[in-house]
Amino acid sequence: MASTSEHRVSEPPDLSGPMLKFLVGNRQQPRYVHESVLDRSSAKLGSAVKARRHDDDTTIELANHTLEAFHIYMNWLYCQRIPDDDPRSHHTLDHLAEAYITGYELKDNKFKNAVIDRFIDVSRSENALPRASTVDIIYEGTSLTCSSPARRLLVDIYALFFDSAAVPDVKTHLGRYPKAFLVDVLDAITKVRPMPRESGDLMAVDGRKYYETETR
């Protein structure tokens, strides 16, 4: 069965036009992308890129993004696929989360959708919940969009698949989880768990479960 992350196009990109220079990360490392390749990926992308251009009209700053994330994005722009990473490394989901934020800020929905599919593929391979670091990257990067699809994906994964095996790791890194995420998960759990008997009547709880040993 083909991976859900294979979003391919039939025609190769046009590489005859001008190139734009991206200054990526705190060290402002230059990376070059054909303008036609950007236009092919998303109509909204053009306006998002123009808003970030310098006076020379060919340079775009992405100071808050990592090189790993931008390389994933470049691979998508030219090859229309998300590069494979070692699914056994927990850094893989972090890199995908960072790449999603790059697509989020550049308004490239095609790329974001491909990242979502790859994220799900890797999560299945790991058979484990995304770590707190991954959650933090998504929530920090989408702080202006509470209804972000990436946020909803993380919340749904935790609400549906959180179990006793995940408790130790979550407790260890509890302080790293955004409070908004924890609230979102609690809200989601109330929607996906079975309704309690007695129509949810709290008085149906047996108080003897909470008794302490009495002494004279």
In which band, very low, low, confident or very high, does the pLDDT at 204 lie, cut at 50, 70 and 90?
A: low
- pLDDT tens-digit profile of 13-67? 677 778 888 888 888 888 888 887 887 776 666 665 666 655 556 788 888 888 8
Check: pTM over 0.85? Answer yes or no.
no
Cα distance between residue 77 and residue 41, in whole Å: 7
SS3 28: coil
- pLDDT tens-digit profile of 98-126? 999 999 988 888 899 999 999 999 998 88
* Residues 103/77, Cβ–Cβ less than 8 Å: no
- So where are the chain's domains? 18-127, 130-193
Q: Identify the architecture of domain 18-127 in CATH.
A: 2-Layer Sandwich (3.30)
